[in-house]
Amino acid sequence: MGLAKSRGLNPRKLAGDVVARLDLSGICESVEVAGAGFLNFRLSKGRLAETLSEAIRGEHLFFDRENAGRNIVVDFSSPNVAKPMHVGHIRSTGIGDALQRAFRLLGHSVITDNHIGDWGTQFGKLLLGWKEMLDRSALATDAIAELERLYKVINAQCDADAGRLEAARAELVKLQAGDPENLGIWREMVSLSQVQFDALYGRLGVRFDKVLGESFYNPFLAGVVADLLACGMARESAGAVAVFSDGQLPPREDPFLVNKEGEWVDDPALIRKSDGGYNYMTTDLATLDYRISQWSPSEIIYVVDDRQTSHFKKLFSIYRRWKPEQAKTVRLVHVGFGKIMGDDGRPFRTRSGDTVRLRDLLDEAQERARKLVDAKSPELEEHQRAEIARVVGVGAVKYADLLPNRQSDYVFNWEKMLALQGNTAPYLMYAYARIRSIFRKVDGGWKPGELAPFILDAPEEIALASYLINFGLTLEAVAEEYRPNFLCNYLFELAGKFTSFYEQCPVLKAEDPQIRLSRLHLCELTARVLKTGLETLGIGVVEQM
């Protein structure tokens, strides 16, 4: 219709001319002009059946890897050493893991890197606390809790006493200078923290190809600053070194300018502090340069919350100005996300006001899921109920986090995320388990690859079959837009279409053996897509619930 308007033509006549020139034999049964000039394409049942037959034989699952060629680095999770992982980490960890899984499924080359916070000013305070008031028995019982206690005590002392702050800084200087004692303590802190990370990532089913923390890049930081000074991009200011605007962008688009009282003023990126120390920007520049030089990616994705948007705009801008030739070869993307909120509209916390620990969150999810499993399936063995509770509990938390538009804040609600109705992980898991239960009732054996034509006569059969072939398009959209919620919504709609099909089209009781086999194949393909889709989101399935 837009084309007709720009050419001064009648849109219905133009649509008719298009139809007259189309040759979609074997793909569409008809193409009809509708309304003011819409074109409606009705898929050929024969072509649809052929595509389903290819899938049931294992030739594809409605997606291909022909367009695979991206070499992608995904930076996500990034917890801090000596601190407990909290509820906020579920966002970066879940979104990043789902994206890398989608990329790999589509055949792209992926390197995942957990850029942990294992260097910086907090270690001066931790070292001081370790030397003066470490409780070894508490460290053995819960290392992260003890390290957190030490930090809180020393931090409070530093706030109240300049002498204590100076003592902490002295410990940090010794660490940065390579003092053997301080390096040994620091390495023990990192090792103890890694035990916590590994345990939680194990529960979440998350793995990384690389774990290169901030400390890895420490030797490169002086060189980064020297380079930026030498090329004139950075300059000294009040004893520090910073990168300022180059004036190439309009003020509203320039990340190095900020509007204050109607006037645009400098908002530079600090790369060396007045005391000679470095900060996140320096480390991130060194990290970015290392990744590009060592891994030759076509794309680097940072899954970090939206509060860091300004930081990443500056980071990408500095790198493009610093190394324009290298920057031309790679797409730099900040995949931002919103906050997790409580029912009170504030960031989700415990009743006492503390940040919710990720370990405690997962424990509670499993406990709540276990109560539901015990109530609904008391006949199952103890180990079966425990495993179902584990998969459902963790899956429910991850799915609830992936379902909203990632840039929106969302309200954390136990009842909604564990519900067996609505767009939830338990609902999708139950849909999968129900399909698997069908095959446990099949008499006389059945093989998924058994050749038989698909018979698509009922509207519900056609609706389900047509929606199955959208799986690949959905995966492509997830990979292009960096939005796992597209896949969540697709799986929910697929489960709904399966329910309609199952209610209207008898499967095991179908009188015609060929129709029965065709419908069993539709059930099988739906189960495969549900399972693959949930696994792409980092969520497991169970054979019965």
Summarised one tens digit per residue, pLDDT across range 126-164 is: 999 999 999 999 999 999 999 999 999 999 999 999 999
- Domain finish residue from 153, 180, 203: 203
237 shares its domain with 294:
yes
pLDDT at 390 exceeding the cut of 60: yes
Residue 63 lies in a domain: no
221 shares its domain with 191:
no
Task: Calculate mean pLDDT across residues 512-518.
Answer: 91
233 shares its domain with 363:
no
Between the alpha carbon of residue 391 and those of residues 215, 385, 483, 488, the distances in Å are: 35, 10, 23, 17
Q: Spell out the long-range contacts of 359-363 with Cβ–Cβ below 8 A and sequence spacing 24 or more.
A: 359/84, 359/85, 359/196, 359/199, 359/200, 361/87, 361/90, 361/397, 362/200, 362/203, 362/204, 362/393, 362/394, 362/397
364 Cβ contact partners less than 8 Å away, ≥ 6 residues apart: 414
| pLDDT reported for residue 544 | 87
80 shares its domain with 217:
yes
Residue 7, domain CATH: 3.30.1360.70
What 8-state DSSP symbol labels residue 354? P
138 shares its domain with 109:
no
pLDDT at 176 exceeding the cut of 90: no
pTM for this entry? 0.93
Residue 505 lies in a domain: yes
152 shares its domain with 179:
yes
Residue 56 lies in a domain: no
Structural domains of the chain, count: 4
30 shares its domain with 96:
no
- Domain finish residue from 273, 304, 337: 337
Compute the radius of gyration of the chain from its Cα atoms: 28
Residue 349 lies in a domain: no
- Domain finish residue from 203, 227, 255: 203
pLDDT at 445 exceeding the cut of 70: no
Confidence of residue 68 (pLDDT cuts 50, 70, 90): confident
Residue 348 lies in a domain: no
* Sign of CA pseudo-dihedral 365, 367, 368, 370: positive
| pLDDT reported for residue 494 | 98
88 shares its domain with 219:
yes
Residue 48 lies in a domain: no
83 shares its domain with 188:
no
Contact by Cβ (8 Å): 269, 314:
yes
| pLDDT reported for residue 53 | 93
Residue-range definition of the domain harbouring residue 153 = 122-203
pLDDT at 327 exceeding the cut of 60: yes
Residue 520 lies in a domain: yes
Across-strand partners of 33?
39
φ/ψ (deg, to 5) at 142: -150, 90
pLDDT at 449 exceeding the cut of 60: no
Confidence of residue 67 (pLDDT cuts 50, 70, 90): confident
| pLDDT reported for residue 446 | 63
Residue 238, domain CATH: 3.40.50.620
Residue 347 lies in a domain: no
pLDDT in tens, 270-321: 999 988 889 999 999 999 999 999 999 999 999 999 999 999 999 999 999 9
